[in-house]
Amino acid sequence: MLERLAELVNDDPAITRWGRHLDASFMVEVGSDQYLITVRAGRVEAVVKGPLVQRAWRFAIRARAEAWARFWEKVPAPGWHDLFALLRRGEVAFEGDQRVLMSHLLYLKLLLAAPRKVAA
């Protein structure tokens, strides 16, 4: 799902506007798959699939593949619809510089929900 993230986010001016002050690389872990996502001024510049050995990132968002699959459904069930709902369920973990993550939380929520646009 994350391979198309640049297209899904960059083609949506509402999402890119929310991230216009974010310049960072961060990791999203989907089960054992790691993705390094680089954002510049709200636009996804790159999505690199790992393994990410010795690659720098500001923060990481990690969850089981099954949790992400439920999160990325077209209309997720209650408790699977939001990052903090996943956190409450114990399905997601945040690591690294959480100040950056929280400063751009709405943008990150929109960015990570973007794959729902192409969900079956």
DSSP assignment of 14-44 equals HHHHHTTT-EEEEEEEETTEEEEEEEETTEE
pLDDT tens digits along 67-116: 999 999 999 999 999 999 999 999 999 999 999 999 999 999 999 999 99
* Residue 54 confidence (pLDDT) above 80: no
**Whole-prediction pTM:** 0.90
Residues whose CB is less than 8 angstroms from the CB of residue 117 and which lie 6 or more positions away in sequence, other chains included = 8
In order of their start, the domains of the chain are 2-118 (3.30.1050.10)
Contact 8, 116 (CB under 8 A): no
pLDDT tens digits along 6-48: 999 999 999 999 999 999 999 999 999 999 999 999 999 999 9
